[in-house]
Amino acid sequence: FIYMDNAATTPTRKEVVDAMIPYMSDNFGNPSSLYSIAELSAEAVETARSQVASAIGALPKEIYFTSGGTEADNWAIKGVAFANRDKGNHIITSQVEHHAVLHTTEWLEKQGFEVTYLPVDKYGMVSPGDVRDAITDKTILITIMTANNEIGTIMPIAEIGKIAREKGVLFHTDAVQAAGHIPLDVSEMNIDMLSLSGHKFRGPKGTGALYIGKRVKIDPLMHGGAQERHRRAGTENVPGIVGLGKAIELSAAEMEEESGRISSLRDMLIQKLLEIPKSYLNGHPKIRLPNNVNIVFEYIEGESILLMLNRRGICASTGSACSSKSLDPSHVLMACGLPHEIIHGSLRLTLGHDTTEDDIEYVVQNIREVVQKLRNMSPLTPPELRNN
Amino acid sequence: FIYMDNAATTPTRKEVVDAMIPYMSDNFGNPSSLYSIAELSAEAVETARSQVASAIGALPKEIYFTSGGTEADNWAIKGVAFANRDKGNHIITSQVEHHAVLHTTEWLEKQGFEVTYLPVDKYGMVSPGDVRDAITDKTILITIMTANNEIGTIMPIAEIGKIAREKGVLFHTDAVQAAGHIPLDVSEMNIDMLSLSGHKFRGPKGTGALYIGKRVKIDPLMHGGAQERHRRAGTENVPGIVGLGKAIELSAAEMEEESGRISSLRDMLIQKLLEIPKSYLNGHPKIRLPNNVNIVFEYIEGESILLMLNRRGICASTGSACSSKSLDPSHVLMACGLPHEIIHGSLRLTLGHDTTEDDIEYVVQNIREVVQKLRNMSPLTPPELRNN
Amino acid sequence: MYSDKVMDHFENPRNQGTIEDADGIGEVGNPQCGDIMKIYIKVRDDIIEDVKFQTFGCGAAIASSSMATEMIKGKTVKEAWDLSNKAVAEALEGLPPQKLHCSVLAEEAIHKAINDYRAKNGLEPWEEKGGHQEHHH
Ligand SMILES: Cc1ncc(COP(=O)(O)O)c(C=O)c1O
Ligand SMILES: Cc1ncc(COP(=O)(O)O)c(C=O)c1O
Ligand code: FES
Ligand code: FES
């Protein structure tokens, strides 16, 4: 099959699996223990910490391992909210964040916090000026994602970081889709907290990290043992942490070459798909993740596109409500101002390490056929686009 | 080396690793996706859910996967606290809980909750009568562990469950040390929530589960995507979940035989160690985990015992402050009424699947020597116990 | 997620298309919800002689349209009216719970088409159940 859903998850790369295995049954010690075998685990965790740190321009002691991007986001936001309640109760975020951010801030609203959800432009981009204008003397946190998971738009986070630093407000960024794919530097970009997730860059599922800069006052999300310098309790997932470290190290080393190759495949795919009539690109035409294609085909519905592509061995994703358990259409495409019926026909293709030019050809050919087949079936399709 | 710290963590068993590997690089799909390869992941997660459910007498739909015991404890306690604030703000727990419970309730105290920390008897046992007496009309949760991680004492949780159910209060039990080792049945025992952790029964680190019965009203701890029926967000750690399921299934199947074998080794070890003068058993003499030995040697200090044992290839643990990052002596042994200086000489040996009778001999011989060596060095040792 | 039967009707939909001189047309849903279903019927001697559909919607919506049209073809108008969404879902070997409402669409579209036919022939319309139950887009 052809896997074009690398934004959902990626296969764990072989080097990563190989690095993990020794920490499962052999060097299995609990890093908190005193004996020699446990020291091997503790050292492996520290190596991974350095690997993550150097990929984002942080210090090793500023990296905390979590169970994934969701935990990192929940921790950053709830942790800062509860620890800084005396300073204020206002949080700024955007309408196009991942649910790991949005459902967290919604929950905090129930706990008495106030949240500003900034709008975006038609490309899904947050404006730094809007961020600045939203800051009040009660604002304790700004959380804006580095790059959007659905449409791939890369946010102006360096500008937002600068504003946040000037105003003395903490700035968190959900870099789950960006880390391992585009260059990031927490100190240059004035980022106080950054979330990342291993399985988005060919690392293991169930692993992630939160970078926490030195000026951040934060409560734990996981209370308990003294792990992670008393900030994140729980026996360390040593194999997972080792895998995360290895994956980000390799991604950083290969980033330049890999993102060049993938973004030209992306551009080729976009160009060919836009030849299909009544199709439009979602997200920013240029400032987007190297691997993201999000395109809308009018008159048809996303879940049925996916099902037909699946029968042809192609894995993709959609923002259509019909494909989601909650039956809500993509909040991201809504925030970009697209009407419901257009959102329903959106298709996200996210390329990966294994994607080839042949794959692009095959996918384009099949999408053409599927789109035509579904348009023939749809009551909305105008006669000139039917061929039956 | 001889590993006698199975309460800290266990090696992941080979069958479990083998079950996990296929879900890393091959069947790597995100269970929430629509295409066929993702269905393999989704099915694997559901199989694991049934495996966990049947090990504790629950229904599959009552099992939620977490990143470990700590997350399960934090979720159960904070989740119920925040969701039931309108009903009351009182929580009952015990002084001997794991820090994953105690530091969570301490944090909740800062958020306006009131917590009763029940005392224990000299064996570390909570009295069901005390639980009953502590219940007020503001009580929303009782959380008492199934078995203690340091001293192995098994709590009267069926009685506590009965009281909780009669009084209409939710009952959570931290079964992290018990699950996979002793029989548990959430419906017979009237348990509303139960935490378990994979790496304590030869499953993978970074995996756990929370059982949530149908009468429980609970907020998520991880907000975000719709995973785990909207209750625990975050891309599922599919290999980890598969490993957890496999490990608990095997543990349940082997429990009777394994616990018989291990508890006779435990009794042998206890008996031989108590032959050392001025040594005492901690925890309940009979009602204790099959694999737990916790013994105190007067006049000496735990960290030095561990270090010397480590040089002899023996891995163990202690309740001494000197070995813990926080430099507080074990709160469990304190709650049992032991004086500080005695606590410092405690040694925990927790047996496992690989423990043999030869190991017991070797360990006893070495502990004898180490205890004598350290007693010869200690200013507290009375002359008749010295041999130098 | 879907049964083989659903996938078969989805990939090879029966009775897809329009009828130029239809005796009755029923349309339900709206594009905002992500689903529109249109049913065309040709009736002769109280028998559904021909039926066609057009659907904008998910796999379940398309498969339900296909199955429902197959199930009413050759039946009397009354029999067609009595086709329940449950029967359609059963014939499809089940639908996921969150997709049951897609089969309701088929039932409703058929009712609309039949009442359109009745109206055109000067007959009292039959009472429709009304509304999209369980339809929470
Ligand atoms: C932007 C973004 N944030 C957060 C997450 C959550 O990460 P995880 O599923 O690893 O917990 C994801 C992916 O699902 C994401 O794309
Ligand atoms: C009784 C008890 N509860 C909770 C935990 C925490 O489990 P984990 O470290 O897997 O998060 C442990 C083990 O460390 C434990 O022994
Ligand atoms: S048409 Fe939207 S869920 Fe079926
Ligand atoms: S004597 Fe050194 S820490 Fe206790």
The domain that contains C68 carries what CATH number? 3.90.1010.10
Overall residue count recorded for chain A in this entry: 388
Per the prediction, chain B carries an average pLDDT of: 96
Are the Cβ atoms of A377 and C61 closer than 8 angstroms? no
Q: For residue C101, is it within any domain?
A: yes
Spatial separation of the C-alpha atoms in residues B281 and A383, rounded to whole Å: 86
Q: Give burial (CB, 10 Å; 0-12/13-18/19+) of C135.
A: middle
> Residue C133: what pLDDT?
45
Spatial separation of the C-alpha atoms in residues B208 and A234, rounded to whole Å: 11
Q: Is C59 in the pocket of ligand 3 (CB under 6 A)?
A: no
Name the residue at shortest CA distance from atom 16 of ligand 1.
Answer: A149
Q: Helix or strand or coil: residue B330? A: coil
Chain A residues near residue C17 by CB distance under 8 angstroms: 388
> Residue C131: what pLDDT?
54
Residue written as tokens 């078969």? Answer: C8
**Would you call C97 an interface residue with chain A, using a CB distance cutoff of 8 Å?**
no
Spatial separation of the C-alpha atoms in residues B109 and A82, rounded to whole Å: 13
Q: Cα(B349) to centroid of ligand 2, in Å? A: 17
Spatial separation of the C-alpha atoms in residues C29 and C35, rounded to whole Å: 6
Spatial separation of the C-alpha atoms in residues B375 and A47, rounded to whole Å: 39
pLDDT digits (tens, 9 = 90+) for B68-116: 999 999 999 999 999 999 999 999 999 999 999 999 999 999 999 999 9
Q: CA A252, A257, A262, A264: dihedral to nearest 10 degrees? A: 140
Q: Check B99, B322, B369, B386 and give the catalytic one.
A: B322
Q: Cα(A98) to centroid of ligand 1, in Å? A: 7
Q: Which long-range contacts (CB under 8 A, 24 or more apart) does A34-42 make?
A: A34/B303, A34/B306, A34/B307, A34/B310, A34/B317, A34/B323, A35/B1, A35/B5, A35/B306, A35/B309, A35/B310, A35/B314, A35/B315, A35/B316, A36/B1, A36/B310, A37/B1, A37/B3, A37/B315, A38/B315, A41/A236, A41/A238
pLDDT exceeds 60 at position C111 = yes
Chain C residues near residue A328 by CB distance under 8 angstroms: 137
Name the residue at shortest CA distance from atom 3 of ligand 3.
Answer: A322
pLDDT band at B327 (very low <50, low <70, confident <90, very high): confident
| Residue B322 is a catalytic residue | yes
pLDDT exceeds 50 at position C130 = yes
> What are the helix (H) ranges across B176-298?
227-230, 238-273
Residue type, B176: V
Task: Please name the member of A11, A307, A315 whose beta carbon is closest to the beta carbon of B25.
Answer: A11
Q: For residue C11, is it within any domain?
A: yes
In this structure, are residues C64 and C36 in contact, taking their beta carbons and an 8 Å threshold? Answer: no
DSSP A98-123: -HHHHHHHHHHHHTT-EEEEE---TT
Are the Cβ atoms of B234 and A5 closer than 8 angstroms? no
Residue type, B330: S
Q: Cα(A302) to centroid of ligand 3, in Å? A: 10
pLDDT digits (tens, 9 = 90+) for C14-36: 999 999 999 999 999 876 666 89
User: Which ligand is nearest the CA of B329, by number?
Assistant: 4
Q: What is the mean pLDDT of residues B347-364?
A: 97
> Residue B328: what pLDDT?
82
pLDDT digits (tens, 9 = 90+) for A53-96: 999 999 999 999 999 999 999 999 999 999 999 999 999 999 99
Residue written as tokens 């057009």? Answer: C54
In this structure, are residues B354 and B338 in contact, taking their beta carbons and an 8 Å threshold? Answer: no
Residue type, B203: G
Per the prediction, chain C carries an average pLDDT of: 91
pLDDT digits (tens, 9 = 90+) for B289-311: 999 999 999 999 999 999 999 99
Spatial separation of the C-alpha atoms in residues B156 and B159, rounded to whole Å: 6
Range of the domain at C26: 4-120
Spatial separation of the C-alpha atoms in residues B169 and A263, rounded to whole Å: 57
Q: Give burial (CB, 10 Å; 0-12/13-18/19+) of B227.
A: buried
pLDDT band at A328 (very low <50, low <70, confident <90, very high): confident
Contacts of B76 (CB under 8 A, 6+ apart): B143, B172, B193, B195, B210, B212, B218
In this structure, are residues A84 and A168 in contact, taking their beta carbons and an 8 Å threshold? Answer: no
Angle at A243 between CA A237 and CA A249, to 5 degrees: 135
A14: closest CA of chain B, how far (Å): 7
Q: Helix or strand or coil: residue C8? A: helix
Spatial separation of the C-alpha atoms in residues A326 and A310, rounded to whole Å: 22
User: Which ligand is nearest the CA of C95, by number?
Assistant: 3
Chain C residues near residue A344 by CB distance under 8 angstroms: 31, 34, 56
Q: For residue C127, is it within any domain?
A: no
Task: Please name the member of B34, B71, B238 whose beta carbon is closest to the beta carbon of A307.
Answer: B34
pLDDT digits (tens, 9 = 90+) for B190-234: 999 999 999 999 999 999 999 999 999 999 999 999 899 999 999
pLDDT band at C135 (very low <50, low <70, confident <90, very high): very low
Element (H, E) at A92: strand A90-94
Residue type, C74: G
**Strand extents, DSSP E, chain B:** 2-3, 63-66, 90-94, 114-118, 139-143, 170-174, 193-197, 208-212, 279-281, 292-297, 314-315, 346-350
Q: What is the mean pLDDT of residues A150-167?
A: 98
Of all residues in chain B, what percent carry a pLDDT higher than 90?
Answer: 94
What is the phi/psi pair of residue B231, to 5°?
A: -105, -25
User: Which ligand is nearest the CA of B341, by number?
Assistant: 4
> Residue C29: what pLDDT?
87
Q: What is the mean pLDDT of residues C77-102?
A: 94
From chain C residues 42-71, the ones with a CB under 8 A of any chain A CB are 54-59, 61-62
Number of domains present in the structure of chain C: 1
**Would you call C3 an interface residue with chain A, using a CB distance cutoff of 8 Å?**
no
Go through A185-218 and write b for each residue having 16 or more CB atoms within 10 A of its CB, e for each that does not.
Answer: ebeebbbbbbbbbbbbbbbbbbbbbbbbbeebeb
pLDDT exceeds 60 at position C132 = no
B24: closest CA of chain A, how far (Å): 5
Q: For residue C79, is it within any domain?
A: yes
* Closest-CA residue of chain C to A387: C17
Chain C residues near residue A377 by CB distance under 8 angstroms: 13, 16, 54-56, 62
Q: Cα(C70) to centroid of ligand 3, in Å? A: 20
Q: Is C56 in the pocket of ligand 3 (CB under 6 A)?
A: no
Of all residues in chain A, what percent carry a pLDDT higher than 70?
Answer: 100
In this structure, are residues A20 and A243 in contact, taking their beta carbons and an 8 Å threshold? Answer: yes
Q: For residue C126, is it within any domain?
A: no
Q: Check A256, A322, A337, A369 and give the catalytic one.
A: A322
Question: What is the bridge-based pairing of β-strands B279-281 and B292-297?
Answer: antiparallel
Q: Is B281 in the pocket of ligand 2 (CB under 6 A)?
A: no
Spatial separation of the C-alpha atoms in residues A54 and A52, rounded to whole Å: 6
pLDDT digits (tens, 9 = 90+) for B1-16: 999 999 999 999 999 9
Are the Cβ atoms of C136 and A327 closer than 8 angstroms? yes
pLDDT digits (tens, 9 = 90+) for B239-248: 999 999 999 9
> Residue C137: what pLDDT?
37
**Would you call C13 an interface residue with chain A, using a CB distance cutoff of 8 Å?**
yes
Residues of C with active-site annotation = 33, 102
DSSP B270-307: HHHHTTSTTEEE-S-SSSB-TTEEEEEETTS-HHHHHH
Q: What is the mean pLDDT of residues A216-233?
A: 96
Q: CA B92, B98, B99, B105: dihedral to nearest 10 degrees? A: -10
Q: Give burial (CB, 10 Å; 0-12/13-18/19+) of A275.
A: exposed
Helices (H) and strands (E) in chain A, counts: 12, 12
Sheet holding C24-30, edge to edge: C24-30, C35-44, C47-56
Instruction: Tell me what ipTM this predicted complex has.
Output: 0.94
pLDDT band at C97 (very low <50, low <70, confident <90, very high): confident
Q: For residue C132, is it within any domain?
A: no
Q: At what angle do helices C100-120 and C59-72 cross, to 10 degrees?
A: 40
pLDDT exceeds 70 at position A198 = yes
Q: For residue C72, is it within any domain?
A: yes
What is the phi/psi pair of residue B317, to 5°?
A: -145, 165
Choose the weakest-confidence range: B329-343, C29-43, C96-110: C29-43
Strand partners, A197: A208
Q: For residue C103, is it within any domain?
A: yes
Q: Is A177 in the pocket of ligand 1 (CB under 6 A)?
A: yes
Cα A202–chain centre separation: 13
Q: Is C41 in the pocket of ligand 3 (CB under 6 A)?
A: no
Spatial separation of the C-alpha atoms in residues A370 and A368, rounded to whole Å: 6
